[in-house]
Amino acid sequence: MSTLMAAAPGAPVVELDLAELRDDPYPAYAQLRRTAPLAWVPSVGRHLLTRYEDIVHAEKLPEVFSSREEGSLLLRTVGPNLLREDDPQHRRLRAAAEPPTRPRQVRDLWAGTFERNAHELLDRIAGRGEGDLIGDFAEPLAAANLAVVLGLRNASADDVSDWSRSMMAANGNYADDPDTWLRAEQATRAIEDAVAEMAEAARREPDGSVISSMVHATDPVELTEIQNNIKVIIGGGVNEPRDVFGVGAQALLRRPDVRDRVVADPGLWKRVFEETARWISPIGMYPRQLTQDYEIAGVALPAGSRVALVIASGNRDESVFERADEFDIDRPHRPHLAFGGGPHFCMGAWVARHEVSALAWPLVFSRLKGLRLVEGADDRMEGWVFRGLTSLNVTWQA
Amino acid sequence: MPIVIFELPDGTQRKVTADSGTVLMQAAVSNGVDGIVAECGGNASCATCHIYVDERHGERVGPPNDVEDEMLDFTAAERRPTSRLSCQVQVSDALDGLVVHIPEEQV
C-alpha cells in the first residue's frame, strides 16, 4: 500500500503554523474539534483526528489504522521496531519485552532502586536551596530508572539521557539537518554496543530486565530486534515520565490548596498523575496509515491516507471532560487517552505511574521544605508531538 | 450463542449475546456496555475491563491466569475473590446465562 501524501478528497484543509503548535496547540485543537474534527494539515502532512470518540474508535481498529506508516522518521532513526509494527509481529516483540514493566515486577524488582535513585539525586541538591527540577532531578531520575529496567548496567544516566535527546531530535528532523542525523547515528551505534554486551551477560545470567526478557523470550527475538526496540524505548522513556513529573509539580506549586491536600493524603497522588497526563499529555499525537478505504468523522478516507491521532486534543474534548482546559484532580474519573489504546497501550505506564506518583513527587514535596516556584523564571511549556516543561526553577529551605 | 448479563453498579442489567470463541470484554464493548473500558484492547496490560463474576457462577468461569492475577492487584475498584479481567474470560456455550457485575470504577 503506497502512502498518500496529500489531503483525501472532501477532507477540509486547515493551515496550522508549526511554531504556534509548539508554543500552545490547544486553541488550534479546540477549533478543529468544533469545525473540522478530521482535517488535512499541510505543515504536518497528515490528517489530524481530534475528537475523543473518533480517536478511541480508531485505536480499537488497528487492522484499519495501521502503525506501519511509510516514510516515518522514527524508522529511519532506529530501524524496524514494535511501535511501527502491527500484530502479529508487534505482539511477538511486545510479549518478549513487556514482562519487566508489569506492575508487580515494578513493585517487587525495581521500586527499591527507583527510590534510591531519587534520594541520591535529592541528596545532591538538597543543601543548595534552589534548582531546576527538570534538569537536576526529573530527567536524570527517569534516565537512571530506565537504565535499570532495560538492563543497561553498562550505561550511565547521562548516557541514556544524551542518547534519548539525540534520537528524539532525529525523529523530528523534518528540516533534514545533517548534524542531527549524525548525532542520532552515534547514539544508536552506542546503544547497539551497550545492548549487545548486556544481552550476552543476560544470556548467561538472567536479571529480570527488558533485555534479559527479550533474550529469553519463548518466541525467539534476534539481537538486532532487541537493539532496535531498546532504542525506541530509550527515545520515549526519558521525556515522558520527566514531562509528567514537571507539569504536575508545577500545577501543584501553583495551587497550594491542592498541594496541601495531596501531601496530607498521599492516596491522591494517583489522581494527580492521571489528571496531569490528561491535561498536558506528554505524547500529544501519533501517526497511523489506513490499510483500506474507511470513513471517519464524516470524511471518506482512501487506503494509504495518513492520519494523526491527536490524543492531546481528545483529552481536552469538552463533550467528555467538563471544563477540559482546567487542571482538576477532583473531576469525575473518565478514561483519558494519554497512554494510547489498543495493542500499543503504553508499555511504560506502570513504570511511570510508580516512579512519578508513588516516589518522585512524594519525595520531592516531603524532602524539599518550603518548595516554591521562582517568580519570573522562564520555565516554558513546549511541544505538541511531545509536550512538557523545558525547566522548572524552584527554591526551598536548604 | 450464549447470553451473558452485565449488571451495572446502579443495578441495571444489560443482556448481551456473546460469540463463542471471543472474550467477554469483546461482547461488552461491541454492545456498548458502559463501564468496560478496555484501554489496551484485550492484552491484559491496563486493568480497565475488571468484572466481578456473580458468586453463583464462579465455578463456571474459573480462576484468573497468572498474568491476569497480577494485574488484578492493580484495578481501580477493590479486588474481590470473584474478580476477573473480562478480556481473559473465553466465551463458550457453557457460559450461557452468566451474570457478571461491573465495578464502580475502572480508572
The interface predicted TM-score (ipTM) is: 0.91
Which percentage of chain A shows pLDDT scores above 90? Answer: 95
The pLDDT tens digits of the residues spanning A380-397 come to: 999 999 999 999 999 999
pLDDT band at A38 (very low <50, low <70, confident <90, very high): very high
Q: Is a pLDDT exceeding 70 seen at residue A1?
A: no
Answer whether A61 touches B (CB < 8 Å): no
- Contact state of A342 with B41 under an 8 Å Cβ cutoff: yes
Paired sense of beta strands A46-49 and A306-309, if any = parallel
**Could you tell me the strand order of the sheet in which B50-53 lies?**
B13-17, B3-7, B98-101, B50-53, B83-85
| Type of residue numbered A259 | R
A127-148: average pLDDT: 98
Answer whether A103 touches B (CB < 8 Å): yes
Q: A333, A336, A357: best mutation site toward chain B, by most B Cβ within 10 Å?
A: A333
pLDDT band at A5 (very low <50, low <70, confident <90, very high): confident
> Cα angle at A150 between A145 and A153, to 5 degrees?
80
The pLDDT tens digits of the residues spanning A318-369 come to: 999 999 999 999 999 999 999 999 999 999 999 999 999 999 999 999 999 9
Per-residue buried b or exposed e for A143-163, using 16+ beta carbons within 10 Å of the residue's own CB: bbbbbbbbbbeebebebbbbb
The pLDDT tens digits of the residues spanning A66-83 come to: 999 888 889 999 999 999
* Residue A174: predicted pLDDT: 78
Per-residue buried b or exposed e for A345-378, using 16+ beta carbons within 10 Å of the residue's own CB: bbbbbbbbbbbbbbbbbbbbbeebeebebeeeee
Answer whether A361 touches B (CB < 8 Å): no
The Cα–Cα gap between A254 and A74 comes to 36
Closest B-chain CA to A333: B107
Answer whether A87 touches B (CB < 8 Å): no
Which percentage of chain B shows pLDDT scores above 90? Answer: 95
Q: Which residues contact A367 (CB under 8 A, 6 or more apart)?
A: A122, A126
CA distance A341 to chain B (A): 5
Q: Is a pLDDT exceeding 80 seen at residue B70?
A: yes
* Residue A72: predicted pLDDT: 84
CA distance B85 to chain A (A): 15
CA distance B44 to chain A (A): 10
A63-68: average pLDDT: 96
CA distance A271 to chain B (A): 10
* Residue B102: predicted pLDDT: 97
pTM, 2 dp: 0.96
Q: Is a pLDDT exceeding 90 seen at residue A44?
A: yes
- Contact state of B37 with A62 under an 8 Å Cβ cutoff: no
* Residue A283: predicted pLDDT: 96
Task: Kindly list the residues of chain B whose beta carbon comes within 8 Å of any beta carbon in chain A.
Answer: 29, 37, 39-41, 43, 45-48, 67, 70-71, 73-74, 76, 105-107
Q: What's chain A's average pLDDT? A: 96
* Residue A3: predicted pLDDT: 79
What is the torsional sign of CA A31, A36, A38, A44? negative
- Contact state of A104 with B76 under an 8 Å Cβ cutoff: no
Q: Is a pLDDT exceeding 60 seen at residue B65?
A: yes
Residue owning grid cell 481536552: A316
Q: Dihedrals φ, ψ of A379, to 5°?
A: -90, 100
